[in-house]
Structure 1
Amino acid sequence: MAATETLTAERILEATEEVLRRYGPAKATVVDVARVLGVSHGSVYRHFRTKAALREAVTERWLERTIVALGPYVEAGGPADERLTGWLTALFALKRKKAGGDPELMATFQVLIGENSAVVDRHEEHLVEQIARILEDGHREDLFAAPERDFATTARAVFDATDRFHNPAHAADWSAPDVEDAFTAVVSLVQRALRA
């Protein structure tokens, strides 16, 4: 890091991600992060009080990318049923890309989500809120039936029904030859269940 460049939390998180990718979660240290940045480890601790806080922030940052990437399906125009299929398809594609494109980072991510279950719970709530907004739009468009209880509960059911296609615990299955057919069948079933 250049001496004139300001040390920011975002810059620290970028460096931490690089260190985690290089060394893995068991061996990565705050000193390694500081070394990449060309600062003392005390400078890193001024932004993140503990190693655990730094790891939590990295996890949150990774998960936030998914929320942002899926946002257009929530905000966009067009029929809600198509937006829901697009949202589910995009989520599956994002997770598959992370699992297949950067296996070291995915393995690191698995460790970090185990350490930061509250961060993961908040992330899932954001995802469920996105689904709920699409379902509400679909109800207003007379595409989806009124929920038995409320949109949040129905959205959670949709999220849970598609768990096999976004939960990293199932990542090993995502390269199976029939996974696309299985995904399409589940999405089709969900869409039929939601119909008005």
Structure 2
Amino acid sequence: MYSYYAIQFSIFYQSVYSNKPSFLTTNAYEEAEPFVNACPIAPESSYTYTVSLGSQAGTFWYHSKLSIQYADGFHSPLIIYDPADPHSSLYDVDNEFTLVQLDWWQNSSLPLMADYEASGIVPISDSGLVNGAGHFNRSPEVPWSIINVVQGKCYCLCVGTFIDTLLINTCGAYQLSWT
């Protein structure tokens, strides 16, 4: 990871596990708890995380563990492919589409955190985003996120639900099945 910005950060790989004694790595300094067992990555510097993945594959995500940077968008999907995927013969199209679902707030995280600390009430997100697009009643309408597919083909879709808000996924008049 390289910090191009004038901020420091620390990365946490959500749901990535290891059979090692340490959660992600054999190096406790890579556990991403800033100021506890790891120093944040300083502005304009880098750090290489070494993560033992073993045989796991799937859709995961990473995010900053420093302050409340996650709420302001410091996160991304992490797709780990299995080159020997036993289900690969089921798909006509694989490794092309990722569906990312996230919470979204109209305000930045700092005022939300101040309100939470004063009241003890957890802020509820204003909307949900799907691949960065969503609707909110005080903002201009943004087109929905669309993934174009060809009828009759079977797709492998990586779905990351990094969200507390309830979202209902639909597929128009088509049948959507999960395997």
TM score, norm. by length of structure 1: 0.26
Looking at secondary structure, tell me which structure has more strand per residue: 2
Looking at secondary structure, tell me which structure has more helix per residue: 1
TM score, norm. by length of structure 2: 0.28
